[in-house]
Amino acid sequence: MKKLIILATLLMVGTVSPSPVRSDYPEFTELVKKASPAVVNIRTTRSTSKRFEGLNEQKVPEMFRRFFREMPDRQKPGPGAGSGFIIESDGYILTNNHVVDGTEEIIVALSDRREREAVIVGQDALSDLALLKIEGENLPTLDMGSSDSLEAGQWVVAIGSPFGFEHSVTAGIVSATGRSLPENNGNYVPFIQTDVAINPGNSGGPLLDLNGKVVGINSQILTRSGGFMGLSFAIPIDVAMEVAEQLKEQGVVSRGWLGVLIQRVDRDLAESFGLDRPAGALITQVFADSPAEEGGLREGDIILSFNGKIIDLSSDLPHLVGRTRAESVAILEIMRSGKRQKIEVTIGKLDIENIGPQSSNSPLAANGNRIGIDIVDLEDVDKRRLEVSKGVLISQVYSGPAREAGIQRGDVLTDIDGEAVSSAEQLERLVAALPGDISIHIRIVRNKRPQYLALKVPVM
């Protein structure tokens, strides 16, 4: 009997096994071992005057802070901290421009604790990238992946030095791609958004896929507290390597320039322009003597594709134009007067003077008459003051379609439903002739900034 009890107990024990190890989550150990030797810590010394030269804190959005602004003691000269990674075995290193900009000394610490002084090969403020060089041979490097093929939901890993803790590893997923950030001049970088924990000191470090290949360079965080809160942004490696190549060859970056001001197309505007869905980049202004003007683009055109690439969001356009070589010919598909057509434009070279707002997404606007506005003619002195060549001044806005569209007193109405407006008399005539119960587009200039809006014409 005793033997039977022992046997039964053993059988019961044999049926109890530990919970199976879940394989749902990726294993990062080997990836980190392979990649870490090529990741470097960057220490810089900058004087207080250089460190904050030209910084107007009132103009810096609080939620988008460069990592170096989060360092504590801002009064005395001292070391800054960032990350980077080796892209060529003879010592070329990629990092963020804001990590090394205005520095007096740059020290690169390798994974084996050796230290090297680095020199700046080239800097590019628009992409926030810098190429450094240290002395060395047969240094470990990282393999480059492709950011163009990234999709939301993919696992990614970051290695860097948050708050000075070297070779810290964090992981998460890609939240979105092609993000445009408010403080990014001209929107020339289609950022990768992730939920990877990134903090001050991670700047310039690599963002890796599960194959250990670099898909991005950690650059910015969205924060109200100064630390990680679930929104991190990385520069796509495809963009970064194009910049690095130019920095290595010529020390500067050449970008394409089209010469237009654009805004997004919402549902109402899409309907008024004859589009079956909201898409494209609506041109609100064509700059004088620009490639766009020479190529025949007009205000009111909607750019639907650029060199065969569909423009779903207006913010897609600056990314594509900026990566296009100057003097090359680009083919644009546009919507004009309800018809699709293709236009060839020879892309120009972006100069610093050309850098400015590339898009306008502010609320849109337009008439005591049928649509609810009073208007007056513009004198020549008014046109010079307001920097417009045509249009009428809106002197009063009443309840009705114009107010609902967002039009304000003081706006200059320059175009209505595709027709240029030269006088108050002409505008009243055009408004009276409009069929009822349709959506039309109106171009206005407010505070010297042009924009389009959709307006619902009431039934007579």
Question: What is the C-alpha separation between 455 and 452, in angstroms, rounded?
Answer: 10
**CA 73 from chain center: how many Å?**
30
Question: What is the C-alpha separation between 258 and 213, in angstroms, rounded?
Answer: 33
CA distances in angstroms from 5 to 12, 17, 103, 280, listed in the order given: 11, 20, 78, 78
Per DSSP, helices labelled H in 16-134 are 29-35, 48-51, 97-100
**CA 85 from chain center: how many Å?**
23
Tokens standing for residue 77: 């000269």
Active site residues: 98, 128, 203
Strands 392-397 and 412-416, by their bridges, are: antiparallel
Q: Which distant-in-sequence residues (6+ apart) come within 8 Å of 120 by Cβ? A: 100, 106, 130, 131, 132
**CA 295 from chain center: how many Å?**
26
Helix, strand, or coil here: 144?
strand
Q: Which distant-in-sequence residues (6+ apart) come within 8 Å of 165 by Cβ? A: 201
Total Cβ atoms within 10 A of residue 1? 5
HSE (CB half, 13 Å, CA atoms) of 16?
6
Nearest 5°: the CA angle 97, 103, 107 is 90
Per DSSP, helices labelled H in 251-369 are 267-273, 291-295, 316-322
Question: What is the C-alpha separation between 156 and 166, in angstroms, rounded?
Answer: 19
Tokens standing for residue 115: 């230290």
| Residue found by looking up tokens 């060529």 in the block | 88
